């Protein structure tokens, strides 16, 4: 990597070190897209180490702090995708805390607001992964936390409904599944019905099933929306 060679020549050069961290993240993103999550995580960790050092040296530079938040999120998501949910959570929380701090410092920044929404979405995505490993209490706690932080994100409620259903709280889950039935803006590009039906397909593939799922599917199908293919991007893809 050219940026690595340049950064090695001048280890105290902020621009070169930052460019190197960007390069590691780009490599990580490419590896992640190829499905090599382990190698992606290694690249993300290298970028994170550089960014932690830069923020320690230049704590008053918001752009470096934002870079660090992104790295925390990348590492957290890579750990999550490896099934290491307990390890992923602290990194996602660090990303969230950093995004909250920047958004509070500059309330006029659309970028910081978007970053904050993204970080909250990462917590909600983790809730879904807890569902897939049958850690339903953890899934419910994580879903509730995400909803409390951003109650206007309808898709967060899918994870809450899944957890409630599998915890035996069928009446609450049913009400939630039907509350947003037919909502076309549950998430950009996906309706509520699509999200729920896709999730159910993935849950069954993970060995998770419940009679309420068939009942809800029947109710959603009455809105005459075509069921999406299970390969479509679901709520966990950000």
Q: State whether residue 191 is helix, strand or coil.
A: coil
Q: How many domains does the chain have?
A: 2
One domain, residues 40 and 90: yes
Angle, alpha carbons 195-199-205 (nearest 5°): 155
- The larger pLDDT score, comparing residue 113 to residue 235, is at 113
pLDDT of residue 228: 45
What pLDDT is stored for residue 12 in this prediction?
67
Query: Do 20 and 74 sit in the same domain of this protein?
Result: yes
Which pLDDT belongs to residue 54? Answer: 97
Q: What local confidence, expressed as pLDDT, does residue 232 receive?
A: 43
Phi, psi of 152 (to 5 degrees): -85, -5
DSSP string, 124-181: HHHHHHHHHTT-HHHHHHHHHHHHHH-TT-TTHHHHHHHHHHHTT-HHHHHHHHHHTT
Q: What is the pLDDT of residue 223?
A: 72
In a domain, 129, yes or no: no
Torsions phi, psi for 222 (to 5 deg): -70, -10
Q: Are residues 70 and 147 in the same domain?
A: no
Q: Both 58 and 3 in a single domain?
A: yes
Segment 145-158, tens digit of pLDDT:
999 999 999 999 99
**Residue-wise DSSP of 96-107:** HHHHHHHHHH-T
pLDDT in tens, 41-70: 999 999 999 999 999 999 999 999 999 999
Longest Cα–Cα distance in the chain: 65
Please check whether residues 93 and 155 belong to one and the same domain: no
Residues 12 and 91 in one domain: yes
Q: How confident is the model at residue 229 (pLDDT cuts 50, 70, 90)?
A: very low
Residue 24 forms part of a structural domain: yes
**Whole-structure pTM value:** 0.85
Specify the residue for token string 């950064």.
7
CATH code assigned at 168: 1.25.40
Res 122: pLDDT: 96
> Does residue 227 surpass a pLDDT of 50?
no
- The distance of Cα 1 from the centroid of its chain, to the nearest Å, equals 29
Reported confidence tier of residue 11, pLDDT bands at 50, 70, 90:
low
* Distance from C-alpha of 119 to C-alpha of 66, rounded to nearest angstrom: 12
Q: For residues 128, 132, 138 and 139, what is the CA-based torsion angle, rounded to 10 degrees?
A: 30
Write out pLDDT tens, residues 170-204.
999 999 999 999 999 899 899 999 999 999 999 99
Q: What is the CATH number of the domain that holds 72?
A: 1.25.40.10
Based on its alpha-carbon atoms, the radius of gyration of the chain, rounded to whole angstroms, reads 20
Distance spanning both ends of the chain, measured CA to CA? 27
DSSP secondary structure string for all residues of 19-65: HHHHHHHHHHHHHHHTT-HHHHHHHHHHHHHHHHHHHHH-TT-HHHH
Report d(CA 104, CA 122) in Å as an integer. Answer: 19
| 19 in a structural domain | yes
Distance CA(108)–CA(129), nearest Å, equals 33
User: Which pLDDT belongs to residue 2?
Assistant: 43
88 and 169 together in one domain? no
In a domain, 124, yes or no: no
| Range of the structural domain that residue 235 is part of | 134-238
């Amino acid at each position: 990597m050219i940026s690595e060679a340049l950064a090695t020549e001048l280890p105290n050069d902020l621009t070169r070190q930052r460019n190197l961290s960007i390069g590691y993240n780009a490599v990580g993103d490419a590896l992640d897209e190829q499905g090599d999550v382990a190698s992606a995580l290694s690249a993300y960790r290298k970028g994170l180490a550089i960014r932690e050092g830069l923020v320690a040296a230049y704590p008053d530079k918001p752009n470096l702090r934002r870079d660090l938040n992104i790295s925390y999120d990348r590492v957290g998501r890579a750990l999550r995708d490896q099934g290491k949910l307990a390890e992923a959570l602290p990194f996602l929380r660090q990303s969230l805390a950093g995004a909250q701090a920047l958004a509070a410092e500059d309330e006029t920044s659309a970028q910081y607001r978007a970053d904050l929404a993204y970080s909250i979405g990462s917590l909600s995505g983790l809730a879904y992964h807890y569902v897939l490993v049958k850690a339903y209490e953890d899934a419910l706690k994580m879903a509730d936390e995400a909803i409390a932080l951003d109650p206007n994100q309808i898709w967060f409620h899918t994870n809450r409904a899944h957890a409630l259903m599998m915890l035996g709280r069928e009446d609450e889950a049913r009400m939630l599944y039907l509350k947003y039935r037919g909502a076309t803006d549950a998430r950009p590009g996906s309706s509520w019905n699509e999200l729920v039906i896709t999730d159910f397909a993935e849950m069954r593939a993970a060995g998770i099933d419940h009679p309420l799922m068939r009942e809800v599917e029947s109710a959603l199908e009455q809105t005459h929306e075509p069921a999406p293919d299970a390969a479509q991007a679901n709520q966990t893809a950000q």
